[in-house]
A and B are shown apart, each in its own frame.
Chain A
Amino acid sequence: MSEALLVLDKVVKRFGEHTAVNGVDLQISQGEFLAIMGPSGCGKTTTLRMIAGLEEPSEGEIRLNGKRINELKPWQRDTPLVWQNLALFPHLSVLKNVEFGLKMRNVAARERRERAMNWLERMDLHAYAGRNITQLSGGERQRVAIARALVTEPEILLLDEPLSALDAHLRIRMQSEITQLQKQLGITFAYVTHNQSEAFAMASRVAIMSDGLIQQIGSPREVYRAPANHFVAEFVGSNNILTGTVVALDGDRATVDTAHGKFNVPVPDPAPIKGDTLELVVSADLIAISDSAGEYENVIAGELISEEFIGSVITLYLDIGDGTVFRVQKQQHELDALDYASGRKLFASWQGKDTYVLPR
């Protein structure tokens, strides 16, 4: 099997004392939409910049189409970037901004103009061709930035949190526009963001980064339901993590004793023995809640501390003892029957099979 389009092979980047990227192995395939996600300072933007040639790796190799590109200067690569703050050229018109990449490749004036206009039409911006970019709205400028990057028809497009400066409404719209664009063009997109819902909505594969390392790569569903380690479990989605010891094993089920009760969980692979410590992940949206006994086999009692409303989803925060907070996420209508008030004792419960055991 031939190598993927873009490969990062044990890439390390140090800035003086600080290691921003600490050994990243990444393979990006042709045509995929990869989101690289993580908290600030995790190294995702540095990784992107290394792909673009704006930083040189301290160690490791970056290969594009099998060829090592570490030493190539940014202008020798074809890895256009859509910048967080767009970096549109203020002294050039919309058309000239979009033409720029072609001009640098010494494409003849007439051809550049045609190709640039094509892209502007595709982005619904042809009416603005002659205007200065200061006269455009945020969303329009966003599209100019994308057109400018795609005009050279690269194999891979890099995007560095391109939507973070937009307001929420516009953001959602642009998200779907970008996703559709990628599907239409079939170009590889490498998209950096710190916004979970954005990454999960747009990408076919998500890489979670922290402390300069990739913690997990997989489809959004995989990462969401089967986090590879504690960090990912905490960072992605809304998960409750409980630590306990194995006290009994019975076929494909195990009983784990935690500070908050004994729970029935599926036996992970490789199978543990009695006495092993396991971390249990219970996703907040798989939990039932009631004010009398628990519905399912694994039950935790707790006192309601607060609630959070986001659209139709309510998140309930329960204090389950010694200050530990337990989250339960429900659709609003599901809670209509429940009488809950602050301080009330409630019972959260979930099915054994819905417990995910973190790999050791």
Chain B
Amino acid sequence: MRPMARKVLTQQVAPERVGTAVRKHKVEGYALFWGAPLAVWQLVFFVAPLVFLVVMTFWTVSNFRLAPDFDTVNWVNMFSKGYVIDTYFRTLGYGALAAVMCSVLAFPASYALAFKASPVAQRIGLFMLITPFFTSYLVRIYSWQAVVAENGVLNGLFDLVGLGPFTILGTLLGTMIGYITLTLPLVILLQFFSLSGVDRNLVEAAQNLGCGRLRTVFLVIVPLAKTGIILAGTFAFILCFGDLVSPTSLGSSKPPTLSILIVDTVKQGNNWPRAAVVALVMVLTLIVVAFTAIFFAYRVKKEKI
């Protein structure tokens, strides 16, 4: 039965498919009714605010009052400050570190789910991963605070075996624990979807040709699943790059990340234009990262012969 179902799904791309293009001369009301809502809503409440962000970077603040303007002072200001540049690269580094760490930590788990679990176990595993997904990240970080604090649960356990106490709060490790809390389920899921799509025949063929276990994983499986792995890492990066809660609650706000910088800029004197500059730079960075990732995720390497 299943091969049949798959055949039907792929029929969708055939030219015979329903869905002739909307006629050129007039657009029927039906099409407009279904097509317009998304366009309207997103243009007004998503695109316009983003455009406004760009505009805002050129406004000025004098005497705590916001004035429409076209002045590059904010840009000059932010880029000239050493600590802003430092913060930028620090946040970039943190994000990259988190993405890599999370990807590495997630891989054995996603591998296990894709290759070492029965279909029933897989569904249960997915269920367990997806359910906490949308539960309050804030509260989970708060819980971690209690766990890794000086007199928290973790140190209590270490104490029982005569170790510690270890300082985790206020360190980079703390921030990383927070970042991993934020991204681990998503990364495992995305890696899983790619891994489970790997053709088992190829894996068997590799082993048949003498490839050992570990080599098969790195030379065959990972390249075949690279789309999901790269996308997982990219999402992890995006999430951590912009996160505020982990560095403030579990890490240290000095030295700050870009998110902390934005919040501080807004709190002190409501300097939205400057905050806008930082925000815009972040968005542009993420666009570049996303496009690069997609490029690498989907490209087919040309062999040099």
Contact = CB atoms under 8 A, between A and B. Distances in A.
Contact of B15 (A15, A54, A165): A15
Contact of A85 (B8, B15, B18): B8
A88 to B, nearest CB: 12
A15 B20 CA distance: 10
A307 interface: no
Contact of A55 (B4, B8, B11, B20): B20
A45 interface: yes
Contacts of A54: 18
Contacts of B20: 55-56
Nearest to A15: B15
A71 to B, nearest CB: 11
A156 B53 CA distance: 61
B303 interface: no
Contacts of A49: 16
Contacts of B15: 15
Interface residues of A, number: 9
A302 B238 CA distance: 73
A44 to B, nearest CB: 11
B interface bracket (residues with beta carbon within 8 Å of A): under 10
A55 B21 CA distance: 11
A15 B8 CA distance: 22
B6 to A, nearest CB: 13
> Which secondary structure characterizes the binding site on chain B?
loop
Interface in B6-31: 8, 11, 15-16, 18, 20
Contact of A45 (B4, B11, B16): B16
A16 to B, nearest CB: 9
A56 B22 CA distance: 12
B16 to A, nearest CB: 6
Contacts of A56: 20
Nearest to B11: A85
A253 to B, nearest CB: 49
Nearest to A165: B4
A85 B16 CA distance: 13
Interface in A38-60: 45-46, 49, 54-56
A46 B15 CA distance: 10
A15 B14 CA distance: 12
A56 B15 CA distance: 14
B186 to A, nearest CB: 33
Contacts of A165: 4
B38 to A, nearest CB: 25
Interface string A156-189: 0000000001000000000000000000000000
A69 B16 CA distance: 21
Nearest to B8: A85
A20 to B, nearest CB: 8
A76 to B, nearest CB: 14
A34 B228 CA distance: 51
B107 to A, nearest CB: 39
B53 to A, nearest CB: 39
Contacts of B11: 85
Contacts of B8: 85
A295 B206 CA distance: 60
B253 to A, nearest CB: 55
B11 to A, nearest CB: 8
A45 B16 CA distance: 8
A62 B16 CA distance: 20
A47 to B, nearest CB: 12
Nearest to A54: B18
A317 B15 CA distance: 38
A31 B76 CA distance: 83
Contacts of A85: 8, 11
A126 B135 CA distance: 51
A55 B16 CA distance: 9
Contacts of B4: 165
Interface in B255-288: none
A55 B8 CA distance: 21
A43 to B, nearest CB: 11
A103 B18 CA distance: 23
Nearest to B15: A15
Interface of B: 4, 8, 11, 15-16, 18, 20
Interface of A: 15, 45-46, 49, 54-56, 85, 165
Q: Which 9 pairs across A and B sit closest by C-beta, in order of nearness?
A: A15-B15, A85-B8, A45-B16, A55-B20, A54-B18, A49-B16, A56-B20, A165-B4, A46-B16
10 contacts: A15-B15, A45-B16, A46-B16, A49-B16, A54-B18, A55-B20, A56-B20, A85-B8, A85-B11, A165-B4
Given A46-B16, A55-B20, A85-B8, 6 more contacts: A45-B16, A49-B16, A54-B18, A56-B20, A85-B11, A165-B4
